[in-house]
Each structure stands twice: as C-alpha cells, then as structure tokens.
Amino acid sequence: MASSFGNELLRLGACDILQFFEVVSEAQEYFGIKDATYLYDVIQDELTSLLAERLILMGYLGVGAGMLIVVPWPGCVETVVERAISEWKALNRTPSWDDICWLGLTAKGHLAALEIIWHPF
C-alpha cells in the first residue's frame, strides 16, 4: 500500500507521465526537505515501494500505439531505483525536466490513482 506521498505521486501520474524532477520537487515540498542526502533516501524508499507494488514504471520515453509511453528500464526493483538515484547523485544538482528518467503508472497504478481521486479520505 502506497504512503501518503506515494498516493500524491499516483494522483499526479493519473493525468500524465511524470518526469523525475517532478518527483524530487514534490518530495521537497511535501516533506520540507532541504538536505540532499535525506532527500535521496526518502525518494529511494518511495520509488522502491511504488515499483515493488507494480504501481509505476520507470524508464525512458518511447512511442506505443501513436502515443508517448514509459519504456521500463530492465532489472529488478532495486536495480532500477538505484540507477535513478545514482544518476541523480552524479548530476550533483537538482534534476531538470529531461534528466534521469520518466515515471508512468501501470494499469494497477491507474486504478489506485482513480481510487485516490474518487475517495481522497
């Protein structure tokens, strides 16, 4: 079950593909985090949970059926999340809109997002 922050990411992802920088920005605002080390840990935990529950995909943009889709990075949950966090750390700055990766909801993630939107409490 997603955390309240995870639910916020699902809600945001219900309408569009999320850019990694949006996850970082939302986490900074949601948790009030300024310390980069703590922010890395929080985001790693949140993404690991969402990916393990098969609510999101993380990867690069592709085209499928004439529309943009997230093409998942290969690997287990930990490998995929660690790749994103490692690339972010290598930037040594807050990611820009096209840095790192993209996040999309799975069918299960869309259903969970609709439940959050329809029944927010």
Q: How do residues 80-105 score in pLDDT, each as one tens digit?
A: 999 999 999 999 888 998 899 999 99
What tokens were used for 27? 């986490």
pTM as predicted: 0.90
At 35 the pLDDT is 84
At 67 the pLDDT is 85
Average predicted confidence (pLDDT) for the chain: 92
* CB contact at 8 A, 98 and 60: no
If phi > 0 it is left, if psi is from -120 to 50 it is alpha, else beta; for residue 60 that is beta
Give the count of domains, the chain. Answer: 1
pLDDT band at 119 (very low <50, low <70, confident <90, very high): confident
* Radius of gyration, CA atoms only, the chain: 14
Residues of the domain holding 80: 4-118
